Amino acid sequence: QLEGRLTDETLPRSVASDGKFIPSNIRWWCSGFYPGSLWYIYEYTGDKTFRELAEKNTFKLYPLKQKGTDHDLGFQMNCSFGNAYRITGEQKYLEPIHTSARVLAGRFSPVTGVIRSWDFVRKGRDWKYPVIIDNMMNLELLMWAADRSGDKSLRDMAVSHADKTLKHHFRPDFSSCHLVSYDTISGQPHLKQTHQGLSDSSAWSRGQAWGLYGYTCMYRLTGDARYLEQARGIAGFLINHRNMPADGIPYWDFDAPALASTPRDASAAAIMASALVELSGFVPAAEGERYMAFAEKQIRTLASPEYTAPAGENGGFILRHSTGAYPFSSEVDVPLTYADYYYLEALTRIKRRLQP
């Protein structure tokens, strides 16, 4: 259903409140999630039809390997070309990964020690060098390319970014602010704000999930115990939060009113579940069982009729009830392509754990 609505230069994005399908161009930050979803479906099923679709949609993104205008290359290239190489081992997927990693590295500043997220400045804000918590998700591209190319500088940048983010983004309770702006002269933070959360001091749900996933991933890639402890702290904050609904699907912001009318974010739940499945394998057995149990609750909720749409509905997307950017009234209570991606990833990771 989705495939029939696409051109050679478009990918799925969402569905409007009136049911109209919304595509994205290849430069939209979430363009890598649809080909990545197809790769996960192929990995899960072995159906060659999905491999062909995955390959076709992956190569739509080939021109992005030179895109240096924001930090989203990790989302775009690692989810598509990265999964393609991981699953097939075919050499044709390597060059775009390596090229895009070097382009992403061009956004790193040795003064701040982090990768700049955006070049734009929101009206009324005084951002000098903005870095958002989402940027943790792009470090795997650098680490992957460093390990296979021998370019240690890429690894050093990823580690520096993770270290600075750990130091400056997080509060004592392991919650994270959304955006830190660094002074370009001193290299130190001068603002801590939000762009998508309820307030500068709130815990925007998807941002917390990005942090959990990012530090779990960085522990896998480095073995650095600090990253494992950070991931465990974030997991505890999320699982035990007073406003975490009983079904495990968070409100769009943990500080939003805990009301039936407050939008949930299925995408945050899917990201969190995928991270918890991986994290469960890095900790003592009893702790790992708690993480797996919570992830299973989230997955079972997402798989229920409340969140999983019947075939042929929901514009062809799997999950309903995600929230993109609530403060801008953008993509509220709609399907989102990255919700489907991390849901499929979580299912694939669970299958690997149960059938190693």
**What are the catalytic residues?**
72, 134
Record the tokens describing residue 58, joined without a space: 């992956």
| Residue among 149, 106, 153, 114 at smallest CA distance from 130 | 114
CB-neighbour burial class of residue 138 (10 A; exposed 0-12, middle 13-18, buried 19+): buried
